[in-house]
Amino acid sequence: MSNTRIRCAIYTRKSSDEGLDQDFNSLDAQHEACAAYIASQKHEGWKLLPARYDDGGVSGGTLERPALRRLMADIDAGRIDMVVVYKIDRLTRSLVDFAKLVEHLEAASCSFVSVTQAFNTSSSMGRLTLNVLLSFAQFEREVTAERIRDKIAASKKKGLWMGGLAPLGYDPHPDRTRRELVVNEAEAQVVHQLFELYLAQGCLNATAREAARLGLRSKHRVFASGREQGGGPFSRGQIHKILTNPVYRGMIRHKDKTFPGTHPAIIDEDLWNRVQARLESASTRRRRGRTPGATKSPTPLKGLFRDETGDLLTPTHTTRGARRHRYYVSHRLIAGGADPAGWRLPAAAFEAAVARIVADHLEVCASRHAVVVTDDTAGAMRVTALARTLVATIRSEGIGTAVGFIATGHIARGAIEVGLEPKSLGQALGYAAGTLNPDLLSISAPFTCRRRGAEMRIIAGETKPKPDATLIRTLANAHRWAATLRSGTPLGEIARREGHSESYIRTRAPLAFLAPKIQVAILEGTLPPEITTKRLIARPLPLDWGEQERLVGM
């Protein structure tokens, strides 16, 4: 018999809480099997510790488990020498998490054993066997998750309510085996009142105030733990969520699709459609109105553009010293923190790009006589002339004029789409909205953002070359300094004469030997916008002109 005492702790886990209220449940069965195994190793000095580490109703896909945290704390404190589990997947189903646990156990000089899976982690073959077992456990968990997601999707297509908190106006069916909602008559009247109030008020804030005055309250819930929720006045956001929830039309929503539900509708189709039309109108209506003409709004594109996730671009600003810098950013960056996929666009550059896109589009349509649909030649010529006048006005006044004709906007990586408002555009051109060419009302153009030093440059539509005055001046100085050096003037003397350091002259003079194609691109403004003086002097330029052109992306 061994004189070494090995203190053993048993860890048990069950993913669901089903059956845990029984006198003898799955956790007890696992503990009993592990205790018997420890007893069989008594001759090796194994001794079962009295503390139990049971995680009931907790997934093996996470390490954030109360009992597991207690277990690891006791291991770190040196109270445990061996962890005993019924199966490896009781400890974790994730290969990555298992590697973390093994590293943690080894650092604490603690081992573990599975009583139903014999292996020895001291050998390479044993570790391979263990990794294979864990890989299958992780695969099983992922397949199970996919199967559950597919089952939920298929059930919702059949119109079944798949759980969660029942919305205001409904209660879960008394028979828990039936995945249905039943109407709560008292709450249904509140929902109907909210729809009618919004139609009467036309504004979510006004609707919230009127609902509070009438004493309307949100759904009051009492959970099994005794915690209470709801029962207070409606907020603007709560009312909007109710007004846009298709469950009140008798539909079940799954992601971005809806399916006919098995529950009765509270709101009839006519009321639903009128409310949705009013909401849609309010979302695109701007405070400055729809009349064409210049606007002095400090954030003219507010509420008009969305990114590829459907998130609104929200105006914001920062102040550096006495200067105020405006931006349009994806709203989630303000509301929810960092997101690498979010947009942060300099406002002035974005507004100028949008105005240019609108002007270019109207100019192209005018040149093709594609402004209106008409057989009247004289009328077509007249509206073309008016369109060109409007283009000139937009180019001179910028976004202040262009924004009066924008209904919606959408940006994505590489593309921008703008929908024009037919009523205001038709008014400016002297034609009814219905006679405008459909192609006139939809704009699609390239859209790219590139960082140029500290500046974010927006490249949108068919842009004209814009030479960089700083880069041109640096190139001219490089030629002058190179010629002076060739004449025999020392570098130090040139630096003193120019008022620069020797290193400043030394790093910029070689730009005189750039490939001719690159120098022409600098003069014409066709060099890729991210190429700056700093980028060109960051490292020694190769002598081969072809290699230089490749490095600058030509």
Q: What is the DSSP letter of 49?
A: -
> Which pLDDT value is given to residue 288?
40
Structure tokens at 254: 């799954």
Place 70 in a pLDDT band, splitting at 50, 70 and 90.
very high
* Helix 185-201 with 269-284: angle, nearest 10 deg: 40
Structure tokens at 8: 């053993």
Structure tokens at 101: 């646990």
Place 2 in a pLDDT band, splitting at 50, 70 and 90.
low
Residue 445 has phi, psi (to 5 degrees) of: -145, 160
The answer to whether the beta carbons of residues 338 and 317 sit under 8 Å apart is no
Q: pTM, whole model, 2 decimals?
A: 0.38
C-alpha 312/C-alpha 410 separation (Å) is 9
Residue 261 has pLDDT above 80, yes or no: yes
Summarised one tens digit per residue, pLDDT across range 139-179 is 776 787 788 788 878 878 887 887 778 899 898 888 877 88
What separation, in Å, do the N-terminal and C-terminal C-alpha atoms of the chain show? 79
Q: Which CA distances in Å does 42 have to 48, 86, 351?
A: 9, 18, 78
C-alpha 8/C-alpha 80 separation (Å) is 6
Identify the H or E element spanning 256. none
Identify the H or E element spanning 497. helix 491-498
Mean pLDDT of 278-303: 62
Residue 285 has pLDDT above 70, yes or no: no
> Which pLDDT value is given to residue 453?
39
The type of residue at 120 is: N
* Angular region, 295: left φ>0, alpha ψ -120 to 50, beta rest: beta
Place 286 in a pLDDT band, splitting at 50, 70 and 90.
very low
Residue with tokens 């864990």: 134
Q: How many CA atoms lie within 13 A of 202 on its CB side?
A: 3
Q: What is the DSSP letter of 436?
A: B
Strand intervals (E) in 248-334 = 251-254, 257-260, 305-306, 313-320, 323-330
> Which pLDDT value is given to residue 98?
75
Which of 37-51, 128-142, 420-434 comes out lowest in average pLDDT?
A: 128-142
Strand intervals (E) in 338-483 = 344-346, 406-412, 414-420, 442-452, 455-460
C-alpha 196/C-alpha 190 separation (Å) is 10
Share of the chain above pLDDT 90, in %: 7
Domains in the chain, CATH or no CATH each: 6-142 (3.40.50.1390), 170-284 (3.90.1750.20), 305-460 (no CATH), 469-551 (no CATH)
The answer to whether the beta carbons of residues 358 and 460 sit under 8 Å apart is no
Which of 232-241, 347-356, 424-433, 507-516 comes out lowest in average pLDDT?
A: 424-433
Q: Which of 451, 440, 460, 446 has the alpha carbon at shortest distance from 399?
A: 460
Residue with tokens 């507004």: 351
Mean pLDDT of 486-508: 85
Is 180 strand, coil or helix?
coil
Give the residue, 130 or 514, on which the prediction is more confident: 514
C-alpha 168/C-alpha 218 separation (Å) is 7
> What does 11-43 look like in DSSP terms, one character per residue?
EEEESS-TTTTSSS-HHHHHHHHHHHHHHHTGG
The answer to whether the beta carbons of residues 178 and 263 sit under 8 Å apart is no
Give the residue, 461 or 116, on which the prediction is more confident: 116
C-alpha 429/C-alpha 425 separation (Å) is 6
Identify the H or E element spanning 111. strand 111-114
Is 178 strand, coil or helix?
coil
Residue 457 has pLDDT above 70, yes or no: no
Place 452 in a pLDDT band, splitting at 50, 70 and 90.
very low
Residue 36 has pLDDT above 60, yes or no: yes
Q: Which CA distances in Å does 530 have to 350, 498, 523, 536, 548?
A: 17, 28, 15, 10, 15
> Which pLDDT value is given to residue 335?
61
Give the residue, 339 or 355, on which the prediction is more confident: 355
Mean pLDDT of 83-91: 85
Q: What value does the mean pLDDT of the chain take?
A: 81
Q: Which of 188, 151, 375, 150 has the alpha carbon at shortest distance from 267?
A: 188
Pairing assessment for the beta strands 313-320 and 181-183 based on DSSP bridges: unpaired
Residue 340 has pLDDT above 90, yes or no: no
Mean pLDDT of 328-341: 74
Mean pLDDT of 61-75: 88
